[in-house]
Amino acid sequence: ASEGKDGSSAAENIPPRVPQGKLGERSSAFSGQFFFEYLVVVSLKKMADGHYEPKITYQFPKRENLLKGQKEEEERLLQAIPLFCFPDGNNWAPITEFTSETFSFVLTNVDGSRKIGYCRRLLPSGRGVRLPEVFCIISCLGCFGLFSKILDEVEKRRQISMAVIYPFMQGLRESPFPAPGKTVTIKSFIPESGTELIELTRPVDAHLEHVEFQALLQRLSPHLILHIFASAMLERRLIFLAEELSVLSQCIHAVAALLYPFTWAHTYIPVVPECLLDTVCCPTPFMVGIQMRHLERVLEQPMEEALIVDLCEGKIIRAVGDEEEILPGKLQNEMLVSLNRHNNNNNVHTSEQVNALVSEAFVHFFVRLVGHYASHIKWGRSGSGSFQERAFCKAIASKSCRRLVKKFVKTNMFSLFIEEAEKSRIPQEGNG
């Protein structure tokens, strides 16, 4: 968000969804933006009945000079954060050992823009029993690898003192978000260690920096991944189950990223807080993650048809029933060969290589299926375009492909994509 010297920030300055031009086009959006809007610490406070409730105990930067509308929006945001930092309810008690975990959540504004909460839950250094706390960075920028590294630095400083975190975050706040493939160096002083230089590098391919496909490939067979992808493509209801918050958030972000260059535009909650479990009763499409301990409660809900995926066992608990037939056989087999090759390849791939290989397979699928969309936009003299849906569908020779496309063109994600294409006239040659 663009900011004034007083640190104020307006919601309307959050970068909008980046328009997509050609199918598969890469974007270098967000470079030069601020890294984050807030860092908050959420701690567990003992209530009168003996339970612990999450509360914000620290916020950086402080926002004192906000306009009324901005204050209301900020209060809504700050009320939601503790719930998502401790989505597993208030069944906490002081402990002596805890393995740090990293996860994320997404908050969607009324205008459809999204803010991401990058979280590190940790046990502060000390002796005896104590309560975990969550450090949460709120940003409108999707770059999970980069923010995970920032949280590593925050955790390292937390074990020394809270006071050491502030100058590091201040330095980060004064640095521009790097362009894809570029590095930003942050200077940070740590008592007894001296000044450290921390390098933060963005991946070259900006659209893959928020995703870890390896997390999905390790838990689900290529066959199941394609069933889930097909359900997401038709904007159905998807529920993912796992116990670890990190597994839920990583896998759901990965499933949403399979849809690139299209964007999931419905309810999207990587980790559903316990008090919001009735989200699964929504009649509209959703993609949500729920902790395994709540499975019975979820199955008891009066749900519409939904695909329920167990990420722990790598299986589907409840299916709609037609998942096997949604994707055209030939294209499905090509994708299976591609995914199996990455799974069986003995060469050790880096995370970036796996991301690129998997994404390429799914982008290629969309290019084969709907890559001819641009030649079916009729341009008026005023420069505005009009998509010719019937001609677009009729141009597909394969019956199974045409059957799928006729459903796909009715989805929200395809409509949004075409709306953007109709606004931005692009050269006709070489599309797809």
Convert the pLDDT of each residue in 298-307 to its tens digit. Answer: 888 888 899 9
Q: What is the CATH number of domain 38-208?
A: 3.30.450.200
Residues present in the chain in total:
432
In this prediction, what percent of the chain has a pLDDT beyond 90?
A: 34
pLDDT of residue 307: 94
Q: How sure is the predictor about 410, in pLDDT bands with cuts at 50, 70 and 90?
A: very high
Q: Is 239 left (phi over 0), alpha (psi -120 to 50) or beta?
A: beta
Q: How sure is the predictor about 342, in pLDDT bands with cuts at 50, 70 and 90?
A: low
Taking only the tens place, the pLDDT of each residue in 244-272 is 999 999 999 999 999 999 999 898 999 99
Find where tokens 């056989």 sit: 329
Same fold yes or no, 38-208 and 211-427: no
Q: How sure is the predictor about 381, in pLDDT bands with cuts at 50, 70 and 90?
A: confident
Q: Specify the CATH class of 211-427 in words.
A: alpha beta
Q: Mean per-residue pLDDT for 70-99? A: 81
pLDDT at 21 over 80: no
List, in sequence order, every residue forming a beta bridge with 213; answer none if it has no partner: none
Taking only the tens place, the pLDDT of each residue in 414-424 is 999 999 888 87
pLDDT of residue 68: 61
User: Average pLDDT over the chain, rounded to whole?
Assistant: 82
Q: How sure is the predictor about 431, in pLDDT bands with cuts at 50, 70 and 90?
A: very low
What residue segments make up the domains of the chain, in order of their start? 38-208, 211-427
Q: Mean per-residue pLDDT for 101-126? A: 84
pLDDT of residue 429: 41
